[in-house]
Structure 1
Amino acid sequence: MYNSHTGKQSSRKSPIWKNLEGTPRQPTNVECGYYVMRFMRDIIHDPCLAFEKKFDKKKEPVVYTQELIDEVRLELAEFVNKQL
């Protein structure tokens, strides 16, 4: 991106950005960090890299239940506990 803005030529292809309209939406503004962490976890744990299809807006929107958010909270707490 830097090279394209400065006019420098690069041997790499330009990135292709896609908006995934079916991504989960947080109900309020206090759980944003957990939603981002859960979304990143879903992408990382997807062996087929099919998250683009999973979050396609043509399908029903993905909803993160409280159990899924709590799973991320527990993983974070366990990680922090190991670091202390």
Structure 2
Amino acid sequence: MYNSHIGKSSCKSTLWKNLQGTPVQPGSVECGYFEMRFMRDMIHDLGLEFEKKFDKKKEPVKYEQEHIDDVRLDWVEFVNKQLQNNK
């Protein structure tokens, strides 16, 4: 998909990599926010360096409560904006 996006034609199949250094969810109730934070980090990584960031050879990335709270605030702002637009 990336090659197609940049206009490069390729017949190669997709190479999936398991990144062993990805953050581990600390509990059992924050999974949705945790995954949204992980996706947010990947999307905001314009240099596509997340593979290096989450490499298992390095110390695993840890999300602190403030990281999860950032996602919660983004979600609240989004929902509030949608509610305001529907009035």
Q: TM-score, normalised by structure 2?
A: 0.81
Question: How far apart, CA to CA, are the structure 1 residues paired with 2:44 and 2:30?
Answer: 21
Question: Any unmatched runs of 5+ in structure 1?
Answer: 1-10
SS of the aligned residue for 1:76 comes to helix
Q: Which residue of 2 aligns with 1:20?
A: 19
**Do structure 1's residue 48 and structure 2's residue 47 form an aligned pair?**
yes
Q: After TM superposition, give the deviation of residue 47 of structure 1 in Å.
A: 1.6
Letter of the structure 1 residue corresponding to residue 49 of structure 2 = A
**Do structure 1's residue 78 and structure 2's residue 86 form an aligned pair?**
no
SS of the aligned residue for 1:73 comes to helix
Q: After TM superposition, give the deviation of residue 63 of structure 1 in Å.
A: 0.2
Shifted more, 11-20 versus 67-76: the winner is 11-20
**Aligned length, in residue pairs:** 74
Question: Which stretches of structure 1, 4 residues or more, deviate above 6 A after TM superposition?
Answer: none
Among all aligned residue pairs of Structure 1 and Structure 2, give the percentage whose two residues are the same amino acid: 73
